[in-house]
Structure 1
Amino acid sequence: MKVLTNTALVLLGGLGVMLSSCSKRQQSQKTGLAYNDRTNGGYLRYQQSHPSPGPGLVPIEGGTFVLGGSADQDVTYEYNNVRRRVTVPSFYMDETEVSNQDWLDYLHWINITFPNDNELYYNALPDTLVWRKPLSYNEPYVDNYLRHPAFQDYPVVGVTWEQAQEYCVWRTDRTNENILRERGNLVTWKDAAGGKNGAAPNNALKEPFNTDIYLNGQIRGQGIDGKKMMTDLNPNAPTTGTGKNGRAVRPVRLEDGILKQGYRLPSEAEWEYAALALAGNTQFENISDGRIYPWDGLGVRSPGKKTRGLILANFKRGGGDNAGVAGGLNDKAIITAPVRSYEPNDFGLYNMAGNVNEWVADTYRQTSFEEVDDLNPFRGNEFTNKRLADPTKGLYAKDKYGRPIKDPARSNKKLKYADMIAQQQAQSAAAANPAAANNGAQNLPATTAAIDPLAGKPYTPDYRDYGDSVNTSLYGTTTLVNNHSKVYKGGSWNDMAYWLNPATRRFADQESTSAEIGFRCAMTMVGAPEIHPEGKPHLPVKKAKNYKAR
């Protein structure tokens, strides 16, 4: 199956930010007002387009499939992957697992950005002691696996679920900052460093770039704004920061379609759907062959003429057999293998079976497949709101790393303005004086997720009432399953072939680490779900007629 290349998608994404007036003057279908005209208020309209993925991602066209349907046995008798038909929307997914080099990039950025914050750097370090075994000589991996250049293209391991989440946030901000600097919407990297002649650095950013803070208009000013800011057609735009010919300029907005959606861990359903890649066996909605691995057939060896007999993934063939016999190693790896080893599946994804297990975003429950929604199924929502430092101005409160502070959400609907202001003021006061906020709350249950700053009562940001204090699906009072239990999938270099099946699922505490667990990132796709509309039949849609005032 062909996948749309990153270059092609970038071109499409670039077209999407062009003002529609470049081709033909458009107007509102409901009021008749012309778009992109500074004389009538500067209403903006941009040409709709398919967005491009972020770096490292490939598009995955969504659709329906049977969650848990590829499982052919249940050797653990967990009964935790009951078949259920669901729909997964289109999304993007990393072509490969996150590698050691990728993680070293992350560590380097922390080191140069917060050189004196030893705690931040230490917390971001993978646990290299995962290689240490009492009856195995793995100490060379403890010392070398993360940092030695021989392992730079190998998947990073020893990272917790929480560390993977933090990496996704960091990657989002670095990608969007780079886009803005390369485009000239922010001061370019060269100018920020002082330019060719070693001039004084032109970078007034006091804190690291953050996408949410930027989109809220809180990253602006001399030494921050680039030379190619967006033209501001708003007649009330401030006169500070003008572009060519004295025109007002503005930062990039979400509506411009320039910035990327956030990187994140894939959901369990997304991961399983992407691993199976049944789109490669589908024509006119007919699936010719099912799969129990990310490739066709019932075996784990290649049937191809030139590759016949080669192992198709990195896994453990049997007890004490991690690689086969010298002179003819079966999977060419003893521990992990480089992230681009073996053939990709029909979505273009490498190592969706074997090499390392991969964290996904879901919280584990044995009965997840029976209880989740059939559209974009996911378990683990903990809803949050960004705290406002100044509710009347809409400015976000920031932590010491320049990121917005997020509080557990206490409502699943839009509040009235007065209630929103009161809530934000109470949260700000509680943050400034935690002792007073907790006064009288000593007798609240230990399972309390948060305290409502207005009512002083416990609440949970999970509105489906699946909090553990009231959850009846847990099978007893003594269990390792809780809200910190996160799913991992895919099988590893040290697993038998059974775990290569995309439907198999296991869990571990979100703070645990292993030499057999890594991860890859995903990104939500916005807009039309069809990846390849070209050459396919479509019902004709008439364009709206322009209104002529009489």
Structure 2
Amino acid sequence: MRTTNTYFIPALLLFFCVSLFVSCKNRSGVSPKTGVAYNDPYNGGLQINRKVKEGPGPGLIVIEGGTFVMGGSLNEDITYAHDNLRRRVTVASFYMDETEVSNADWLEYLHWLNQNFPDDKELYYNALPDTLVWRHPLSYNEPYVDLYLRHPAYQDYPVVGVTWEQANDYCIWRTDRVNEHILRQKGALVDYRTLAESQGRPAEPFNTDIYLNGQYRGEGIDGEKMPQDNTPGTEDGARRPVRMEDGVLKQPYRLPTEAEWEYAALGLVGNTEYGNIESSKIYPWDGLGLRSAKRRTQGLMMANFKPTSGDNMGVAGYLNDGGDITVSVTSYLPNDYGLYNMAGNVNEWVRDVYRQLSFEDFQDFNPFRGNVYMDKQLEDSETGVIAKDKYGRPIRIPAKAPRKQTWEELQAATATPDSTGATFDYDVRGYADETNNELYGVTTLVNDKSRVYKGGSWNDRAYWLNPATRRFMQQDESDAMTGFRCAMTLVGSPEINIKSKPSFPANRTRAQGDRKILGIF
């Protein structure tokens, strides 16, 4: 009997392990609902990718979301604006730029525009920052007009003089360049060397939406390592473009929402234990002061700002913050999320339209004020071909319906693409709070083009370093104190710091696998 048990137990374990292996293999290669195999060219060719390698795009840091009191870090409303009333909200996990966008980053953008559209002087001119923001009638700032953007001494300083509109254009451009680079590196598009030797630049610039719609293909475009096409009826060895389902391409870069920016700036993840916030913050760092309390850096300023009138950098021989204007985007210590200069240096644009009472109006999950619903215009609704502008980007038109249209409605809408419809308000950024045209310019400067900026700058007092403070400027205006950084939506599980909390074994295994896939561990 003892001998039987000795052999029986290992055999049972072996059977269990084999069964588990087969089960896991089946789960990854077979539909759990129909039993039909994925990625089989003989049964329809449905391709499901179970080995997703999703992660942050270049320059981004993952921000685990959660609940926090928006406006709660402000202890005194010294402006009596009453525009940052406390409200508990939830922010979904997302990615955010480690640093502000620098002059070198912007010069890369300008260089690409000049290379790909050498004859379009208007496009290049419109992308130029307004360097005249440095001019002031009673200050000699004229050298910055010519030197700040282009001199290599300032290459790692934050770009300024950019409008909210220009910042959004940069996000769109960055999305396409990152995805194009991914595809060329993987061989789904021809590599840079082949491209350069053949024609120097693409006949039509790459656009993510156009590519995903199958409209960016052909000789001189398709790479040798495109994914295999398992569609029935295709020739052996047929290839296809990368799809969103493959998990290769990145989500769009964009400006962060006001709630995302404030949440990331506070960095409460460093003050949390077992789901409780142990201590609150006034600034992106701990404590009530503006100077470092650590022994080795005691007394050093924690940010680049203007402590008092007439003091932009301190006394010669021992400058207090090391900056007369802006400083490098990696100056000072990062906050608990690893983000640099979330207070001081430059103010930063966010996506939201400014309204004094936004805190009362917006939702408590992913709060945002500024939705203008736009759809990609179809050139042919039967084939789904997207209409393109002269830069190879989708033409976007106002949304015609709040929900998916019927096939008949879609055909009718395509027949009259300029019609906005009469029953759906696609522009809801004011949330039923219309601009008072009679009072605008008389008692108020707030309208639907007023955008929020936050964070304080090199020329601001300490009050504006608090993440809860908010100001606004027209989306087509700029100044020498405002720049920006980009964000990106995180897909999949919101949990990042799973090792710091207990969880059920099955969930922990699944979550750890997800996080490894994301490249976080």
With the length of structure 2 as denominator, give the TM-score of the two structures: 0.89
Match of residue 502 from structure 1: 467
Aligned partner (choices 209, 213, 217) of residue 216 of structure 1 = 213
Structure 1 position 234 matched with structure 2 position 234: no
Q: Matched residue of 1:487: which SS?
A: strand
Distance in 2, matches of 1:46 and 1:536, equals: 29
Q: Does 1:259 align with 2:265?
A: no
Structure-1 residue corresponding to 2:17:
none
**Partner residue, 2:222:** 225
- Answer yes or no: is the 8 Å Cα contact 1:35–1:44 preserved in 2: yes
| Aligned 8 A contact 2:440 2:447 in 1 | no
Paired residues of 2:435 and 2:446 also in contact (CA < 8 A): no
Contact 1:388 1:397 in 2 (8 A): yes
Q: What code does the residue aligned with 1:101 have?
A: A
Q: How far apart, CA to CA, are the structure 2 residues paired with 1:375 and 1:24?
A: 33
Deviations 1:212-270 (A, max 9, x none): 00000001112111010001111144x4xxxxxx4111110001111000000000000
Choose from 99, 106, 122 the match for 1:103.
106
What percentage of aligned pairs have identical amino acids?
62
Q: Which amino acid aligns with 1:493?
A: W
- Given the alignment, which residue of 365, 380, 397 partners 1:390? 380
- Structure 1 contact 300–311 (Cα < 8 Å) conserved: yes
Runs of 5+ in structure 2 lacking a partner?
1-22, 511-521
Deviations 1:258-306 (A, max 9, x none): 1000000000000000000000011111111100000000000000110
Name the SS for the 2:314 alignment partner. coil
- What corresponds to 2:402 in structure 1? 412
Mapped to 1, the partners of 2:233 and 2:429 lie a distance apart of 43
Match of 1:273 among 263, 266, 278: 263
User: Is contact 1:50-1:528 (8 Å) kept?
Assistant: no
1:514 and 1:22, CA in 2 relative to 1: closer, same or farther beyond 3 A?
A: farther
Q: Structure 1 residues 281, 177: closer, same or farther in 2, change over 3 A?
A: same
Deviation of the 1:41 alpha carbon = 1.1
8 Å contact kept, 2:449–2:474: yes
DSSP-derived class of the 1:173 partner? helix
Report the CA distance shift for 1:248/1:286 in structure 2 as closer, same or farther (over 3 A): same
CA-CA distance at 1:56 after TM superposition: 0.2
- One of 36, 41, 59 as aligned partner of 1:38: 41
Q: CA deviation at 1:460?
A: 3.1
Shift of 1:175: 0.4
Q: Offset at 1:116? A: 0.6
Aligned to 1:77: 80
Indicate yes or no: 2:173 matched with 1:170: yes
User: For structure 1, which segment, 410-419 or 487-496, has the greater mean C-alpha deviation from structure 2 after superposition?
Assistant: 410-419
Q: Aligned pair in 2 of structure 1 residues 459, 228: CA closer, same or farther (>3 Å)?
A: same
CA positional deviation for 1:465: 7.3
Determine the C-alpha separation between the residues in 2 that align with 1:357 and 1:535: 33
| Residue from 104, 119, 137 that aligns with 2:140 | 137
Letter of the structure 2 residue corresponding to residue 373 of structure 1:
Q
Q: Aligned partner of 2:456: which letter?
A: G
The alignment covers a number of residue pairs equal to 486
Q: Tell me which stretches of 4 or more aligned residues in structure 1 moved more than 6 Å.
A: 20-24, 474-477
Question: 2:450 is matched by which residue type in structure 1?
Answer: S
Match 1:525 to one of 490, 512, 515:
490
- CA shift, 1:46, in A, is 1.6
Query: Residue 424 of structure 1 aligns with which residue?
Result: 414
Structure 1, 41-50 or 62-71: larger mean CA deviation: 41-50
TM-score (norm 1): 0.85
Residue 412 of structure 1 contacts residue 463 of structure 1 at CA under 8 Å; is this kept in 2? no
1:65 alignment counterpart? 68
Q: Does 1:320 align with 2:310?
A: yes
In structure 2, the residue matched to 1:361 is 351
One-letter amino acid matched to 2:173: W
* 346-355 vs 410-419, greater mean Cα deviation: 410-419
SS of 1:422's partner is helix
Q: Which amino acid aligns with 2:362?
A: V
Q: Deviations over 1:53-105 (max 9, x none)?
A: 00000000000000000001111100000000000000000000000000000
Q: CA deviation at 1:539?
A: 2.2
Q: Which amino acid aligns with 1:498?
A: Y
Residue correspondence of structure 1 range 346-495 to structure 2 within 5 A: 346-427=336-417, 430=418, 452=420, 457=422, 460-462=425-427, 466=431, 469=434, 478-495=443-460
How far apart are the structure 1 equivalents of 2:435 and 2:381? 34
State the SS of the aligned residue for 1:40: coil
Q: What does 1:141-156 align with in structure 2 at a 5 Å threshold?
A: 141-156=144-159
